Every structure is written in structure tokens, then in C-alpha cells.
Amino acid sequence: MRNVQENLLLGRNHSDKQDDLDKKMSELLKVHQEVLKAQKEMFDMMRVQHEAVHEAMQRIRADAVQNVQGETAPAPAPAPALRIVFWVLYDVVIQVKVKNIMCKRLLQEFKSTLDFLKPLIEEMAESNKLLHLPEQEQEKFIIQMREGVELIGKCSKVSKWHSYKKYACTNKLLKLDESLRGLFHKMSMQIAIHVKEGLISISSMEAMIKKIEESGVIQNQSQVVLTKPQPPLHEAGLDVLDTHGSKDVEGTGDDLNEKEVGVKQIGRDGTRQNEKEIEGLSEVPENSSPKTTLDVQGTKDINESLDSESVHIAQTKQSQGTRMVEAPVAESYKFPFLMVESDVYLRELKKKIFEDQVAMLVITGPAGCGKTTLARMFCEDQEVKMKFKNIFFVHVSENPRLDFIVQQLYEQKDSVVLELQEDAVNWLQQFLKETGGDPSLLVLDDVWSGSESLLDKFDGLRTSMHKILVTSRSEFPRFDCYLENLKSLDDEEEMAHLKGKVVAAVRATGDYPERVGKPICEYYLKTGTCKFGPSCKFHHPKQGIGYLSSLYGLTQLSSPTHALERPYTSVVPSSVGPSSSSPNEQAFPERPREPECQHYLRTGYYKFVPSCRYHHPRDQIAPRTNCLLSPVGLLGNSGSNAWPSFSQVSLSMEDFQTSLDLKLNAQHSLLQTPMSPCVSISRRISSNDKSSQSDVEDKSELDEIQSQISGVTVPESLHDPLESKDQCPMNVNNTLEYAASGTTPNSVNVDGQSVTCNSSEIGSISQKQGVKEKVAFRTKSEIEILDDGFKWRKYGKKFGKNSTNPRNYYKCAYEGCPVKKRVERDGQDPSYVITCYNGVHNHTSLGKRTQRVPASHPQPLPFPLPIGKEESFTFDHLADDNQEESVLFDHLADHIQ
DNA sequence: CGCTTTTGACCCGCGC
DNA sequence: GCGCGGGTCAAAAGCG
Ligand SMILES: [Zn+2]
């Protein structure tokens, strides 16, 4: 509007009033800062804070509405469904928890998540306000909660011994828990956004008041909306527009975009003009008050401040006799703030993807930051729609299987569900050919970091007509594609400018509170991340991330179905099969902010318990072989039982490798070793072998190696597991030297000095007892019982001489299974747990007494049914798996020779 | 009630 | 033979 310039000029003449407003602004900022501070520092008080803030917000809004004198501020339809479902779930959880003996801990945890959510849900329901989650998101949660109800019901019925069922339930529960936490997170964000937007609104109102005061013009029925034609800074900064009609509540992506531009621009303007002073609260339009200083002065109770602020505004308005139209409070807080900045990204994204040379674009950012939303918005964008005739959106996340993806692609293309085809690559090629006539956009949503090979395939088949947009939590530096890093989520500073520290605080990634004395955040331990971020009330030990990964299996990040396909096999050649990336690889601690783990880079060695605190970039490690080591140990072929034996084992990686090679060469039969705590070993390429050996110089490196993998298999004699129902005496051959065991330090050498298993020893061991196989693992872990998927019964305990570090003896709970394990802490470094497995499981299920092996499957499976197996698993899967494993095995055998 | 853990007794091989 | 230490057994206690 033209008045703007006038207004601005007039405004400058009214410095007193401005000062007044300035004061108010500082107070606002102060309040804001308070909120930030509180949120950042008082995690435990988070909910309280939210409530307080929310209350304040409500007051503000109430005031606004009042001031507007009946101006419509229709509360959006509440989301009672969510609330109802939530409560149903809550009740069920409590009920089940009371009477259910199993999954207790899990339920406890789950309940705590719900407890987290409860006040938020209630609050939202009470205030009759719509969640700011996108509709689909809401529905998703409603569905999830419903499923949760059923699931928990199911769980409660699963008998104790149906271990795999239990684990399936466990996994589902965990997943649900996780997503609910995500919900919590989002809601927290929303509340933070409320605050902020409330402040924005107040600022807008004030600005308007000011203007009105200045110009003496009473603007009726108008809304303050700052719109700015793109780049040039509009000098007035304040346009009074009558645009509220165009603002709808839940709009399509496009709608949102447009609407959010306004909000964003506000922020932008403020940022640019008051960047230094304003910091977080940048969106306050202060164009007309150049003298404004926004330094924080003093502190006040949030509510009080906000309240008085509102009152003040009201008074101002009234004193001016101004009939204010509602500032965009009601509308603005309906916009997920994320969307605001999404617009910026959207533009960037469009710009980039329209460039000819760009074939693949990766959007990265932490979980829940809006990558998918951005991608969806992108797909909805008119320009994009124009450009790409075909747009396919595939949600990859837990199913990084090419065949599934192609199937989905076809489904979207033809609305026909086709059978899965075996040669997924060809299938994809075919698909690309069919769609190659027109420019097409493939969106691969949420590609996990283990799925480079998937992208490889797409990359390999890229055509000029196809562009691929990938969203992922981690970067894929190997792909020469443009990275669209949602850095506002990574970069706190940037974020602070753009959206304020509230959001930053809630969302800051990689910064988790250490709260010694509090329960440990299991999510953090399992995944190395925690969606609650700094607001999580649990302890986040910097060390030992992931030690719990074994507690529930790899459920967190892997889908049950996938776990089914590839139980525990974390090393899979990308050339084999469509499911080439194991979700288990997710258990790798990828910590982009940490220094890279040198040993991981060199050796590719992988330990299931990802206690290493360094970064493990998946795609940079040395090529790995197809050697598979299931948690049960080495994967063998069926039919042969010609194991070599050796007595001495060292920790030398090379030796270890040797033993592996020997084993594999020998084509050892099924059920190989006992479970290791999920160790998988990958072979280094030969050129790296030496370096990884000889480069070990300092102690820390040595430690790291040891911590990464200290598993040694010690086959001692021949054995047919099927015939070994009898107990295997443990004492036959005490040949096993623990990896890094304190009692045999000399044999625990990473620098090659240790005793190696030489061929002369092989076979020299007594074989009188039938199969004897030992595996020792040294694992850095705070807990001693590393869940390896089997059920164990403790049968003995011994205290050493020094009475420290008791030694516990466990027996496989499966009836007739001879496997035992001994667990003790490393005497030299108690942070390590040494687990020695002895014997070979003669079963595949986890601990059930009856085996479910159909006649068509005479041989026991080479690995146990994994945690996370679906109840509905079929042996077909397993058969497939076996096939695939043996392929891998052969491949490896070739490799070795 | 049924499974798990605890715990002292016991067994066994080894070295002195 | 004896003591020692590693390993195991099994009754009793604990737990859900
Ligand atoms: Zn067993």
C-alpha cells in the first residue's frame, strides 16, 4: 500500500510512542529469551514450560480476539480423535502393564512416552486447538495408536516362551514408541512455534497500532500481513493488506507455501534489519522504528510478561479508540513453522533440480525436520508438476529393496500392483524405459544411510529424462549429486536467525543432555540419537552409545520384515539381490559430527554393539567381503562338518581372518558357532590388510580395535550339531584364549605378536568330545548380558580371587541345546565385557522347546531366527535366505581361494 | 505355578 | 594327597 511510506515517515515523528513500543519489544524479547532459556536448560520442566507458555499464548490470543471485538477467530476443528485414541491406548497400556509379565520394561518405557504425550494431548484437546501436524500426520498417529492398542493386546497374550512372537511384538512396540516420540517432538515444536508466532502476532499488532497511531488512520477489517515481493527489501516493510480471506487453515502444500511466504518474509525482514539485536526473534517487523534496540533487559515471569504485554496492547488499542482487526494470530499459528523456511528450500530445490546436469538431488537433515514434507511440497509444486510429467513418490525407509521400490513405482504409474520380479535392476531399467518418454521425477523418501547401493542402482541407470530426489538423514557423499542440506536444522546459528532459538533448542541435533543419575535414554543408546534431543529427561552418556542395541535386537531402525530377510547379517555384498543393504547396518554409529573412526575406515570391521563413538561412514570403508557372521557365529554351509580345529587364537585381526578363512574353506556345516553378540566381520581388501595391522601404533587405536571387534572363533573339533544333544563338557580343551582377556594378555595382541593359529595346530587338538567351538567376545558395554537373540539360563556364578568381577555362567535355555556362555568383566578394563560362547546351537528358534522346522527344511538354519521376526514369518523367507546366504558363502569361498 | 536366579556344594583336572 | 580354581549341579529363593 502506498500509505506505507507515509506511515513510515509519520512514524519517525512519533518517537515517544515508538520508544514505548520498543520497550514492549524488548520485553517481548525478554520473554522469548526466557522461553528459550527455560526450554534449553530445563528439560525436566519441559512440559510445565509448555503449559505455561501455552497458557500465555492463550491469553494473548484471547486478548487479541477480544481486541478485535468479535472478529472471527474460529477455532479450527479440534482433533478429538487423536485424543480419544490416545487415551484408549494409554488405558490399554496401563492395563496390560499391570497384568503382563513380559515386555514389562518395554511397556514401562512405552508408558513413559505416553506420559510425555499425555499433557500435550490434553492441552491441545482442552484448548480446543488443532494439532499443527499435517492431516496425514495426524491420521498416521491415530492409526498407529489404534494399532498400538491391538498390538499391546496381542502382546499380552503371547506366551512367555513364544520368544520370537514376543520379539515381534517388542519390535512393533518399539516402533510405535518411536513414532509417538516423534509426535511428541513435533508437538513440542508446535508449542514452541506457538510462542513464537504469538510473538510475531503481537509484534504485528504493535506495529500496526503504531502505524495507526502515527497516521491516525483507523484501518478496519484489515490484517497485518507482511508480504514482500521476492528479493528486494521492501522499504516500508509494512503493508497493510486485506488478505486474510486468502488464508485458510489446512491447505494444500501450495496453499501453505503461499501463505507462509508472508510469515517468512516477516522473519526475513526482521532478520535483515535487526540481525544483530534481534537474534532469535527476528521476525518482528521494526522497519518503522529504526532506533529499536532489542537487548534483553532483566527477566520476568513469562506468563506475567506476556500477559501484561497483551494487556498493554489492548490498552493501547483502546486508548486510541482503534478497532483492531485480529492480527494473524489465529492463522499464523496454524502454519507449521517449518513450512516457512521450507519455502526457501523449495525455491532452492527447484532451482537445482531444474538444472540440466543434476540427475540426483539429496535432501539431508535430521529426522523429523521436514525433509519429507519438503519433498512432498516439491511434488505438489505447480512448477514442478509442469516440468515433470510423471512424479513418483516412494517411501523407502525401512524397505530399501529395489524390487519393492520398482513395484511401487509401477503401482503409481499404472495403478496396478505387479508381482515382484527377481531381477529388480532390469525391472527398474524397464520402468525407466517406459517412463523415459517424458521428464519424470522419482522421489525416494527417507533413504537410510545403509542404502547407498540402492542409490547406486538408480544412479547407474540414470537417464536424462529422470531426476531423482532423495531425502535422507545422512549424506551420501559418494554420489555426485547436489546436496540440499537442511542446514537450518543442523546449524544452530542459522536456525536462530531464521526461526528462533526455541526451535533450535528443541531440535538441536547431536546435543544430548548428560544427566548422570537419571535413567539412561535407551533410544539414545540404541540409536545414538534421540528425538527428544536436549529436552529428553533421561541420561545420554557420551560413551557407550548403542550398548543397548542388543537389548531389543536391531529393531529400532530395521523393519521386522527386513530383519526377517537378513537376520543379523550386516555385511552383504551390494551385488547380490535387491535387499542388498541390511537395515542392521543402521546399528552402525554414524556420527557425522565426530571424527571418523580410522579403524572402521581401514578395516570395515563392524561390531554390532556400536560403542565406538567415532563416525562410521558407511560408504567409505574398504570393500567388504561376503563373509557373514550371524550372531550365532559364522555362517556355514550345510552338509559338511569338516571343521578345522585350532587351539590358540589371537586377537590379531589377521589371524582372526585366517580363522575365518579356514572355517569358510572348510565349508563348515550349519549352526556353526554359538552366538556372538552380533558381530559381523567383514574382510578387508588385501591392500588394507597390512595397514590395518601394522599401523596400529598407539594404545588408543589398539583399544579401539579391540572394542570394535574382539571375537574369535575357536572350532576345536568336528561336530555334527544334530547329534550333539548331549552336553558338551566345557573342559575338554581350555584352548580358548579370550580376546584381550586379562589372564592372557600376551595372546591378545593386535599388533601381530600374538600367537597365531598355524596350520600345525589345526587338527592337533583333541577331538574326542565331538564338536566344541568357542567364541569369545570382548565388548565395551555397561551391561553384561548382551542380548544375542537366544534365551539363556544362568546356572552358576563364581567370584574370582579378588572377588571382583564375578563370572556368570549361562546355558542356552533351549532344551537339549548344549551351548553355554560365560560372561565376565574384563579384569583390566571393567568397561569391557568378555563373553565366551561354547558350543553350537542345535536349534534355530530363540529358546522355545519345540522346534518348528518343517520337513522340507531338514537342516537347522544357520542362524537363529532373529529378533524382530514377524509372527507371520514363513519358512519360505528363510529358504530364500538360505539360498542367498549360500550364494554369499560360495562367493566368499571363491574370494578366499 | 513355572521359570529364573542364587548360592553353597560338588566335581574335576592340575600343579605342587 | 592336597589345595586351588574353573566349572557345574541342584535346592531353595525369587519373581512375575
Ligand atoms: Zn541353543
> Final residue of a domain: which of A433, A454, A488?
A488
Clarify whether residues A472 and A507 are in a common domain: no
| Residues 801-820 of chain A in contact with strand B via CB under 7 angstroms | 808, 813
Name the nucleotide nearest A734; use CA and C1'. C6
pLDDT tens digits along A620-648: 332 322 222 233 332 222 222 222 222 22
Clarify whether residues A61 and A83 are in a common domain: no
> Taking ligand 1, which is a single-atom ion, which protein residues have CB atoms under 5 Å away?
A 812, 814, 817, 819, 841
User: Of A180-184, A407-411, A450-454, A781-785, where does mean pLDDT reach its minimum?
Assistant: A180-184
The answer to whether residue A311 sits within a structural domain is no
User: Of A216-225, A417-426, A480-489, A507-516, where does mean pLDDT reach its minimum?
Assistant: A216-225
The answer to whether residue A472 sits within a structural domain is yes
Clarify whether residues A84 and A59 are in a common domain: no
CA of A830 to C1' of C2 (A): 34
Residues 6+ apart with CB under 8 A from A666: A640, A642, A643, A644
Q: Is the pLDDT of residue A463 over 50?
A: yes
The answer to whether residue A185 sits within a structural domain is yes
Cα of A816 vs centre of ligand 1, distance in Å, is 8
Please give the average per-residue pLDDT across A324-344, as a whole number: 34
The answer to whether residue A251 sits within a structural domain is no
Instruction: Confirm whether any atom of chain B, the nucleic acid strand, is less than 7 Å from CB of A161.
Output: yes
Range of the domain at A511: 499-535
Please give the average per-residue pLDDT across A427-451, as a whole number: 76
Q: DSSP per residue over A429-467, as a string?
A: HHHHHHHTTS-EEEEEEEE-TT-HHHHHHHHHT--TTEE
Instruction: Rank A154-158, A501-505, A610-614 by mean pLDDT and report only the highest.
Output: A154-158
Name the nucleotide nearest A811; use CA and C1'. C8
Q: Kindly tell me the burial class for residue A853, based on how many C-beta atoms sit within 10 Å of its own C-beta (0-12, 13-18, 19 or more).
A: middle
pLDDT tens digits along A197-242: 544 454 555 555 455 455 544 333 333 333 333 333 333 333 333 3
**pLDDT computed for residue A809 by the predictor:** 92
The answer to whether residue A778 sits within a structural domain is yes
For residue A653, give the amino acid letter. M
pLDDT tens digits along A382-403: 777 888 888 888 777 666 777 7
Residue A370 has what DSSP assignment? S
Please give the average per-residue pLDDT across A561-586, as a whole number: 29
| Total number of domains in chain A | 5
| Nucleotides of strand C under 7 angstroms from a protein beta carbon | 4-10, 16
**CATH number, domain with residue A790:** 2.20.25.80
CA of A779 to C1' of C14 (A): 30
Q: Kindly tell me the burial class for residue A281, based on how many C-beta atoms sit within 10 Å of its own C-beta (0-12, 13-18, 19 or more).
A: buried
| Nucleotides of strand B under 7 angstroms from a protein beta carbon | 3-9, 12-13
pLDDT tens digits along A32-51: 454 334 344 433 333 434 44
ipTM of predicted assembly, 2 dp: 0.96
Phi, psi of A393 (to 5 degrees): -120, 115
> Final residue of a domain: which of A9, A44, A66?
A66
Instruction: Confirm whether any atom of chain B, the nucleic acid strand, is less than 7 Å from CB of A794.
Output: yes
Clarify whether residues A36 and A146 are in a common domain: no
**pLDDT computed for residue A794 by the predictor:** 92
Instruction: Rank A356-360, A539-543, A751-755, A891-895 by mean pLDDT and report only the highest.
Output: A356-360
Task: Tell me how far CA of residue A894 lies from CA of A338, A626, A672, in angstroms.
Answer: 52, 10, 20
Spatial distance between the Cα atoms of A582 and A519, rounded to a whole number of angstroms: 31
Please give the average per-residue pLDDT across A122-134, as a whole number: 54
pLDDT tens digits along A720-754: 332 333 333 332 222 223 333 333 332 322 222 22
Crossing angle between the packed helical segments A253-278 and A371-380, to the nearest 10 degrees = 130
Cα of A843 vs centre of ligand 1, distance in Å, is 6
For residues A710 and A676, the answer to whether their CB atoms sit within 8 Å is no
Clarify whether residues A41 and A95 are in a common domain: no
Clarify whether residues A54 and A102 are in a common domain: no
Q: Is the pLDDT of residue A805 over 50?
A: yes
CA of A885 to C1' of C11 (A): 46
The answer to whether residue A169 sits within a structural domain is yes
Half-sphere exposure of A10 (CA within 13 A, CB side): 16
Q: How confident is the model at residue A810 (pLDDT cuts 50, 70, 90)?
A: very high
User: Of A279-283, A383-387, A501-505, A675-679, where does mean pLDDT reach its minimum?
Assistant: A501-505
Q: Is the pLDDT of residue A806 over 60?
A: yes
Q: How confident is the model at residue A420 (pLDDT cuts 50, 70, 90)?
A: confident
Clarify whether residues A99 and A188 are in a common domain: yes
pLDDT tens digits along A666-704: 222 223 333 333 332 222 222 333 333 333 333 333 333
- Round the average pLDDT of chain A to a whole number and report it: 47
Q: DSSP per residue over A672-737, as a string?
A: -S---SSEE--PPPHHHHHHHHHT--SHHHHHHHHHH---EEEE-S---GGG--S---S-S-TT--
Q: Is the pLDDT of residue A795 over 90?
A: yes
Q: Which has more pLDDT, A896 or A58?
A: A58
pLDDT tens digits along A138-173: 656 555 665 555 555 544 444 333 333 344 445 545
Rounded to two decimals, the pTM is 0.29
For chain A, the first-to-last Cα distance in angstroms comes to 80
Instruction: Confirm whether any atom of chain B, the nucleic acid strand, is less than 7 Å from CB of A791.
Output: yes
CA of A230 to C1' of B15 (A): 89
Cα of A98 vs centre of ligand 1, distance in Å, is 31
Cα of A788 vs centre of ligand 1, distance in Å, is 11
Clarify whether residues A365 and A410 are in a common domain: yes
For residues A555 and A574, the answer to whether their CB atoms sit within 8 Å is no
Q: Which has more pLDDT, A9 or A678?
A: A9
The answer to whether residue A32 sits within a structural domain is yes
Instruction: Give CB contacts under 8 A, 24+ apart, made by A349-352.
Output: A349/A374, A349/A378, A349/A469, A349/A484, A350/A378, A350/A381, A350/A383, A350/A384, A352/A482, A352/A484
Name the nucleotide nearest A791; use CA and C1'. B4
The answer to whether residue A228 sits within a structural domain is no
Clarify whether residues A387 and A459 are in a common domain: yes
Q: Is the pLDDT of residue A649 over 70?
A: no
Crossing angle between the packed helical segments A163-215 and A46-68, to the nearest 10 degrees = 40
Clarify whether residues A107 and A181 are in a common domain: yes
**pLDDT computed for residue A515 by the predictor:** 53
Clarify whether residues A54 and A117 are in a common domain: no
Name the nucleotide nearest A104; use CA and C1'. C16
Q: Which has more pLDDT, A164 or A381?
A: A381
CA of A728 to C1' of C14 (A): 29
**CATH number, domain with residue A437:** 3.40.50.300
Task: Tell me how far CA of residue A63 lies from CA of A201, A208, A254, A309, A729, in angstroms.
Answer: 12, 16, 31, 10, 80
**pLDDT computed for residue A348 by the predictor:** 67
Clarify whether residues A51 and A136 are in a common domain: no
> Final residue of a domain: which of A158, A173, A202?
A202
